A and B are shown apart, each in its own frame.
Chain A
Amino acid sequence: MSVASEKLMVSAGQGCVDRPVLKQRGQQEVFCGLTGIMWLHRKIQDAFFLIVGSRTCAHLMQSAAGVMIFAEPRFGTAIMEERDLAGLADMNEELDTVVDRLLERRPEIRLLFLVGSCPSEVIKLDLSRAAQRLSQRHSPQVRILNYSGSGIETTFTQGEDACLASLVPSLPSEPDNAPKSLLVVGALADVVEDQFARLFEQLGITHTRFLPARLADDMPPVGANTHFLLAQPFLTDTARALEARGARYIQSGFPLGAEGTTEWLRAAASCFGVPDAKFEEVVSAPRTRARRAVQQYEERLSAKKLFFFPDSQLEIPLARFLGQELGMQTLEVGTPYLNKRLMAAELSQLPDDVVVSEGQDVDKQLDRCRDAQPDIVVCGLGLANPLEVEGITTKWSIELVFTPIQGFEQAGDLAELFARPLNRRTRLEV
């Protein structure tokens, strides 16, 4: 788009975080924050996500996952209709009726999120008041919170950020004299969470909790002695909300790959004063396993050129892992938005010649991608097949969000996700 200025901005600052960023404004080919419900509704087992939106929202939810979910999902859409918008129906009354019907049908639900959408935001429907009102009505059986997953404010994984940030004010308070505790923040696959819990315990960090918890009533307490470690890179608002409650941020990269996981654990270990020897003792065996697993793919992936379209916000940590541990060469790493504070440790490990781009003008980015001739492109579902037709190998990024990839035991699986499309392309003889 012509207003979309493509300029190189060099921001003031210091250190290797400081690098030119290609800022883009144009058509953004990314999901909205509602998509986060796809995994959140499975993660918190007694929560329900009610989108207040349009038919488009409902259609997105059932199409975006790529597969339908066989069991009845713990999400739904209250679809606004003409009579709601024309003021013929009181939208709040309508919403109350929908919530009553829903909770009657699903009596096991303990936590209900009212999720704002583009249309509900544009008409300024006040969901926080609705949540308060409905909470009073359904308390103590059901707690009702709200957040916005709208596409005019959030991209893809930012929906999880908004959801977790909405949880933070309602977390129990930890007394000031509580022992120092670790809070791991960001939805992880259950298996990964269990692995991390074991590692922290072995390190002697006994008070470890996870946000979100698997059940609404098990959400972790937070207080001045809470130190939190981000397991996901997209949790800007959640981090801010936790800090507002007195919790302290443990600066770190993200647990992708053998080295990424080591550094992530080390950040927690040094915060909790774990002796170096102890750290090495605990970490060395799983790290060796992880390195061995990753190495198996090195031959196939080393020196291969990568191009990332912006999608899940995992792009920068992934580029770091693939470069650092597999010798892949990233040409451009796109990210929907750049939080330099949370991304500092990751950015500092990216080679200088990697172009970091923020935002998107998809047609121009496609032009750059074709010119760059990468060996593999990480992109969303709308772009992948058309690029494959052009002879460009792709890895669809949504799989990186829907697969356990964090931690030592998954490092090899993560490498394999990138090796598979290349392998497939060379293997097929048709």
Chain B
Amino acid sequence: MQLTLWTYEGPPHVGAMRIATAMTDLHYVLHAPQGDTYADLLFTMIERRKKRPPVTYTTFQARDLGADTSQLFMDAARDAQERFNPAAMIVGASCTGELIQDDPGGLSKTLGLPVPVIPLELPSYSKKENWGASETFYQIVRHLAPLGPEASERTDISCNILGPTALGFRHRDDVTEIKRLLESLGISVNVVAPLDASVHDLLRLRHAEFNVVLYPEIAATAAAWLKRTFRQPFTTIVPIGVGATRDFIREIAEITGRDADTLLEQSESRLPWYSRSIDSTYLTNKRVFLFGDATHVIALARVAEKEMGFKVVGMGTYTRERARDVRDAAESYGVEALITDDYLEVERLVQELQPEMVLGTQMERHMAKRLGIPCAVISAPVHVQDYPARYSPLMGFEGANVLFDTLVHPLTMGLEEHLLQMFRDDFEFNDAAGPSHLSHGGHGPVKGQVDGGEAEPEQAQSFENNSNSIVWLDEAERELKKVPFFVRGKARRNTEKFAAELGLAEISMETLYEAKSHFSR
């Protein structure tokens, strides 16, 4: 039993819904109680989809449990097929449905429905949303792809793009961007799936020469099966950031046996110049913490370090399935990865590390807001404001432009940072007021929204074990307040650490500056 306040992923059947909703003519019959219909609003409200998800819930009730819930399921499946006339169906159970063991797969077989019915086994008590999406996509591909005709001889080079789903973080725009990129390389796109794909499209998957795996969390399993079955190679590099996009192009050159240099000539992004522009000097060594799904965290860590000149001080993921990849990446930045789906653990680490910026999910956004740390959202789970109306991919060269803006926007800019440091007592222009280009009150800790009287974060940051015995003298405490807000916590911690190492009982102004010099970057 696990105590959870917020969860990074939904249950696996929500993953299956993301696949069904992404496709145009697949219907999902879900053996589930009425409350599970909440999942519809994820799509209609958060993603603003124009249609209800193609899901029929059996909505069994307590009084049905003594009677015949399997009949209820069969009626629902038959009615759904008649009403919605889908090209194929998937059937399964939600967490409660799983407990009553009605076997939706077996039951639907007895119905003799006139369309392919694909049974799903999604263990709700051990697996989660992304796994559910991956497994569902794999099952659909495995069932449908072999039914299609073999490829006829074709002259052009073509690929499939695999992984984008409904409710995906920027999937819609990533697909547009990567399609454009591939086409500029002279590669045609055979099928994009599951987003906007029909069942018929899946029959043509085998016609492509290779597969582009946009989101390994969702498409890696299906791509591996397609490789085994149809000998289609697949890409392993996720093109987020300038470097990764260039590597992605190289990988495609290798797969298709073409010259990478010619392909790379086309690459252009504003990020390299914007990052080199002297205005960006202030970004150097900004201490960032990253948390999210494995794909986005690994990619964004690279962007942060290599393309923005930040310093990665911590990173982690809730994607346990890819813990090793994240650990490897973390190691290359000299930090240890946090693998957890416990939001409280992430919060503890952020408090301890005192980063100057957090790149995370909507959970980290709330946590960072409370702690007064600038934050940008770079991974699911996200909320309605992270489905922007404008074109804003994360992938490809345009994606890199978007990322530059996204990562710079929450920060106090260049000279403003210096001015804040120099004249921190100005009544309207001080660090607690936040960056002047952000109108809404800046990023001081959000007081009054903190429930249950938590200590002010800055205080909470003190090393409890050290600060018990170490006293801050008034002069030092006052001087500490002159340190800019976003690094003050770090300065306090470092000074205490420094004093503890020297065995000092008091921290004077002298100690503060000694520590500053000791830890200077």
Contact = CB atoms under 8 A, between A and B. Distances in A.
Nearest to B5: A76
Interface stretch (B32-40, B388-396, B457-465, B470-478): B32-40
Interface in B414-460: 446, 449-454
Interface in A1-36: 1-3, 26-35
Contact of A82 (B14, B50, B125, B383): B125
A331 B71 CA distance: 33
A381 B44 contact: yes
Interface string B382-404: 01000000000000000000000
B126 interface: yes
A59 B7 contact: yes
Interface residues of A, number: 69
B306 interface: no
A382 B43 CA distance: 8
Contacts of A30: 34-35, 37
B1 A89 contact: yes
Contact of B1 (A59, A79, A380): A79
B51 A55 contact: no
Interface stretch (A67-75, A296-304, A314-322): A67-75
Interface string B39-76: 11110111011111000111111100100000110011
A391 to B, nearest CB: 12
Interface in A80-122: 80-82, 84-85, 89, 91, 94-95, 97-98, 101-102, 106, 108, 118-119, 121-122
B7 A122 contact: no
Nearest to A367: B83
A64 B100 contact: no
B490 to A, nearest CB: 24
Contacts of B71: 3
B262 interface: no
Contact of B33 (A1, A102, A150, A380): A150
Given A56-B94, A62-B6, A386-B52, A78 B1 contact: yes
Contacts of B14: 56, 59
Contacts of B124: 54-56
A384 interface: yes
A177 B169 CA distance: 64
Nearest to B45: A381
Contact of B41 (A84, A121, A381): A381
A27 B35 contact: no
Contacts of A382: 37-38, 40-41, 44-45, 52
Contact of A68 (B11, B123, B362): B362
A54 B125 contact: yes
A118 B10 CA distance: 16
Contacts of B451: 71-74
Contacts of A68: 6, 362-363, 366, 383
Nearest to B36: A56
A151 interface: yes
Contacts of B38: 31-32, 35, 60, 63-64, 382
Given A2-B79, A55-B124, A385-B44, A79 B33 contact: no
Contacts of A29: 34, 37, 40
A140 interface: no
Interface string B334-377: 00000000000000000000000000001100100110000000
B468 interface: no
B62 A121 contact: yes
Nearest to B64: A152
Contact of B46 (A63, A73, A123): A63
A354 interface: no
A126 interface: no
A71 B95 contact: no
A344 interface: no
A233 to B, nearest CB: 19
B9 to A, nearest CB: 8
Contacts of A150: 33, 35, 62
A70 B451 CA distance: 9
Nearest to A382: B40
Contacts of B62: 121, 150, 152-153
Contacts of B207: none
Interface SS of B by simple majority: mixed
B96 interface: yes
Interface residues of B, number: 68
Contact of A27 (B3, B37, B46, B363): B37
B270 interface: no
Contact of B11 (A59, A62, A64): A59
Nearest to B1: A94
B37 to A, nearest CB: 5
Nearest to B343: A72
Contacts of B50: 385-386, 389
A66 B41 CA distance: 9
Nearest to B126: A82
B517 interface: no
B4 interface: yes
A77 interface: yes
A1 B99 contact: no
A79 B369 contact: no
B49 A151 contact: no
Interface string B1-30: 111111101110110000000000000000
B128 interface: yes
A417 interface: no
A182 to B, nearest CB: 32
Contacts of B7: 55, 58-59, 62, 77, 79
A68 B369 CA distance: 13
B142 to A, nearest CB: 25
Nearest to B68: A3
B276 interface: no
Contacts of A63: 10, 38-39, 41-42, 46
Contact of A385 (B4, B6, B49): B49
Contact of B95 (A56, A121, A155, A381): A56
A54 B96 contact: yes
A363 interface: yes
A118 B95 contact: yes
Contacts of A59: 7, 9-11, 14, 39
Contact of B44 (A27, A89, A386): A386
Contacts of A1: 72, 75-76, 79
A359 B101 CA distance: 26
Contacts of A119: 95-96, 99
B518 interface: no
Contacts of B35: 30-35, 60, 118, 150-151
A383 B45 CA distance: 9
A71 B44 CA distance: 26
Given A77-B3, A151-B35, 13 more contacts: A2-B78, A32-B33, A55-B4, A63-B39, A76-B3, A79-B2, A79-B3, A79-B4, A381-B40, A381-B45, A382-B37, A386-B44, A389-B51
29 contacts: A1-B72, A3-B72, A30-B37, A31-B35, A33-B35, A56-B94, A56-B96, A60-B36, A60-B38, A63-B41, A70-B370, A71-B451, A76-B5, A77-B3, A80-B125, A106-B452, A121-B62, A122-B65, A122-B99, A151-B34, A151-B35, A381-B45, A382-B37, A383-B40, A385-B48, A385-B50, A386-B44, A386-B51, A386-B52
